[in-house]
Amino acid sequence: MSTKPKVLLAMHRNLGEQIFKKEDFEYFKTFVDVNEVSSLPERVDESFIKENIRGVDICVTCWGTPPFTKEVLDNADRLKLIAHSAGTVKPIVTDYVWERGIRVTSSAPAIATAVAEMTLGLMIISLRRIFHFNELTHKGFWKTDEEISKTKSLYCVTVGIVGASHVGRNVIRLLKNFQVDILLYDPYVSQEEAERLGVKLVSLEELMSSSDVVSLHAPSTPETYHMINKSNLSLLKPGSILINTARGSLIDESALIERLAKGDIFACLDVTDPEPPDVNSPLRKLPNVILTPHIAGGNSVTDRWRQGKYIIEQIYKFITQGTMDYEVTKEMLPRIA
């Protein structure tokens, strides 16, 4: 009889195939007893978990996994850890999970790395006006001194980070490779912590008025709903760039559209509210907006491998040390994505 901890993969088969690189999954099987990805159903519902979770120590979930209701947990006689190989755990974790002392982790830090990388890329190509120069060159034009005078790089500019989340901190880390000034707005970060991060803690108004690039990394909560609005959008300097790879609800889009219509700022929006934007939304027509379909995190082949590898590493640490690099607690939920 196996003495390895028993693990249940509770996710759609296609996600299991995307999340776990074959080599990583083979390593996983060296220290756990786990069901094969190929045995997973096309869709995982509550009955699948109820029927399979008895005797399981660790359950690995993903997007689309149903919540851990009382009925599910009544069958979970040995469950100690829910390891979510995606981002937010809010759709799957219920109060019953906390009541039973089940611990929780997720691949949010791995996804945050991917989002931060895309954010940095958007900063670089937007400051250098790559989208604009691509269009000009395709139309037969070439650079001019006037065009160059409007172009910048990640040197001697000020970048404002809204939210010291996993993503925000990763963006700050990446920006340390460039000679830029970094401003931070986050009401939960102390002056001492800001100093450790190497950033200047400021009000949202100062950040909006002083930054060449404003990048949003706050969670979607009632507190952050439309935190970017007509009042502070008016503070943006002409030529500045607004990047949102967080959540669309952070921005009052009607106010943003009104500011963008003036033509003096540029926006990169990976997220909108609603998603996708209405087919007639001005965001789809404005020339100074780059729209992408919520792809910054967890939406590439290699990003998903990174999520799977991260959750395997966390499970190994949980089994061997009883600790994890990232553990989600009930107290954290109101302040995280």
Contact 48, 77 (CB under 8 A): no
Whether residue 126 sits in one domain with residue 100: no
Asked if the structure places residue 32 within a domain, the reply is yes
Tell me what the mean pLDDT of segment 309-316 comes to: 98
Nearest to 91 by CA among 122, 125, 65, 114: 65
Alpha-carbon gap, residue 160 to 182, rounded angstroms: 6
Could you tell me the two tokens for 110? 């791995």
DSSP state of 328: B
Least confident residue range of 25-34, 48-57, 142-151, 166-175: 142-151
User: Under 8 Å CB-to-CB from 282, ≥6 apart: which residues?
Assistant: 257, 260, 261
Residue 67: asked if its preceding bond is cis (omega within 30°), the reply is no
225 and 127: one domain? yes
Kindly state whether residues 95 and 132 are assigned to the same domain.
no
- Name, in order, each residue with C-beta under 8 angstroms of 268's C-beta and a sequence gap of 6 or more: 122, 126, 241, 242, 243, 244, 245, 289, 290, 292
Domain total in the chain: 2
Alpha-carbon 327 to chain mean position = 16
Whether 37 and 126 share a structural domain: no
**What is the arithmetic mean of pLDDT over 227-255?**
97
Name residue 290's beta-bridge partners: 268
Distance in angstroms (rounded) separating the CA atoms of residues 229 and 219: 16
Q: Do residues 172 and 272 both lie within one domain?
A: yes
Q: Is there a single domain that holds both residue 237 and residue 133?
A: yes
Are both 11 and 96 inside the same structural domain? yes
Q: What is the mean pLDDT of the chain?
A: 96
CATH code, domain with 232: 3.40.50.720
pLDDT score for 134: 93
Is residue 337 over pLDDT 80? no
| 12 neighbors 42 (Cβ within 8 angstroms) | yes
Q: How far apart are CA 212 and CA 214, in angstroms?
A: 7
Locate 69 and state its tokens: 């209701």
Q: Is residue 145 part of a domain?
A: yes
Domain range for 190: 111-291
* pLDDT, tens only, 201-230: 999 999 999 999 999 999 999 999 999 999
- Residues 124, 65 share a domain: no
| Residue 175 domain-assigned (yes or no) | yes
Let me know if residue 28 belongs to a domain.
yes
Question: Is residue 220 located within the same domain as residue 327?
Answer: no
Domain identity same for 317 and 201? no
Does residue 1 lie within any of the structural domains?
no
Q: With respect to residue 237, please indicate whether it lies within any of the assigned structural domains.
A: yes
Give the per-residue pLDDT at 307.
97
Does any domain span residue 74? yes
Give residue 2's pLDDT band: very low, low, confident or very high (50, 70, 90): low
Model-wide pTM > 0.85: yes
Whether 324 and 219 map to the same domain: the answer is: no
Residue 161 lies in a domain: yes
One-letter amino acid for residue 213 of the chain: V
3-state secondary structure of 213: strand
* Together in a domain, 26 and 163: no
Q: Looking at the predicted structure, is the pLDDT value of residue 33 above 90?
A: yes
Active site (catalytic) residues: 247, 275, 294
